């Protein structure tokens, strides 16, 4: 009986969250049609993300936001749930754009919203030509004094732990000479695991760690290892890229 009541409660919570998400998203899309200027539209989406998480009953607790450099930089965060993009949108200043897999252009509503706030759509780093094109797009954004946010694991699964980091974000930051800022997201995997659409109430935490100087001469692999180690030390999940 307890298990049935738990599932019923989770289903009711998911239904409420779906209504809250759908209502706020619809209003946001309408505003994005009429609000001029990319910076203003990003501010609208940031407020919408904060409202949605508040309606979920899970406004993120944020630490270390003062560590973000005032100048253009590259944020790299762990990736555990579909909630992560919304969480970073809610907590990062609106000057940040997201680097999104080009597959998202096939989702009309998401593509419209992301395009209106200046997200960068790139192919996966699966070959020399795609890697060059992706780096060029991102470097142009950084040279325009934008700040970018990445999930360098590239994907997520229900299994807890930090996966291997792809090198793309670190190559771009190194070539552009921009600081890298590791960010830790905790709690999103428990709220919405990869193997279900049933949302669970939970506590969300975001911790901004000390920036890593990408112009100090380290290789992209060295920068990736430094950022990954910093995130792993604060994440509280196992290392899934450890040999053996």
CATH number of this structure's domain 2-235 = 3.40.1130
Q: CA 44, CA 236: separation in Å to the nearest integer?
A: 33
Q: CA 208, CA 22: separation in Å to the nearest integer?
A: 29
High-pLDDT (> 90) share of the chain, %: 58
Q: What is the pLDDT of residue 153?
A: 93
Output the pTM of the full model: 0.90
Q: Cβ–Cβ contacts within 10 Å for residue 121, how many?
A: 17
> Of 203, 204, 201, nearest to 10 (Cα)?
201
Name the 3-class secondary structure at 69. coil
Measured between alpha carbons, how far is residue 139 from residues 27, 95, 167, 173, 178 in Å?
Answer: 33, 16, 14, 8, 10
Query: Among 43-47, 153-157, 232-236, whose mean pLDDT is lowest?
Result: 153-157
Question: Could you read off the pLDDT of 151-186 as tens digits, one per residue?
Answer: 999 889 989 999 999 988 898 899 888 999 999 999
The confidence score (pLDDT) of residue 124 equals 59
Number of CB atoms found within 10 A of residue 169's CB:
27
In the chain, what are the domain boundaries?
2-235
Instruction: Say which residues have a Cβ less than 8 Å from residue 163's Cβ, sequence separation at least 6.
Output: 153, 154, 155, 156, 240, 241
* Closest listed residue to residue 75, CA positions, set 235, 209, 237: 209
């Amino acid at each position: 009986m307890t298990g049935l009541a738990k599932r019923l409660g989770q289903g009711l919570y998911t239904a409420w969250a779906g209504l809250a998400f759908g209502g706020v998203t619809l209003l946001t899309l309408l505003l994005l049609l009429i609000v001029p200027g990319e910076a203003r539209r990003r501010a609208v989406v940031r407020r919408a993300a904060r409202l949605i998480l508040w309606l979920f009953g899970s406004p993120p607790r944020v630490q270390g936001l003062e560590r973000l450099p005032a100048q253009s930089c590259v944020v790299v965060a762990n990736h555990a749930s579909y909630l992560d993009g919304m969480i970073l949108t809610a907590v990062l200043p609106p000057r940040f754009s997201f680097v999104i897999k080009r597959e998202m252009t096939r989702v009309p509503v998401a593509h419209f919203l992301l395009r209106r706030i200046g997200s960068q759509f790139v192919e996966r780093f699966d070959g020399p030509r795609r890697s060059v094109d992706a780096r060029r797009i991102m470097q142009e954004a950084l040279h325009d004094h934008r700040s970018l946010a990445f999930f360098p694991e590239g994907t997520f699964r229900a299994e807890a732990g930090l996966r291997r980091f792809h090198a793309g974000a670190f190559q771009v930051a190194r070539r552009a000479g921009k600081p890298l800022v590791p960010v830790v997201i905790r709690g999103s995997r428990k709220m919405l695991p990869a193997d279900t659409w049933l949302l669970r109430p939970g506590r969300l935490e975001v911790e901004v760690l000390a920036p890593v100087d990408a112009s100090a001469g380290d290789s992209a692999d060295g920068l990736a290892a430094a950022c990954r180690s910093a995130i792993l030390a604060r994440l509280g999940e196992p290392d899934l890229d450890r040999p053996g």
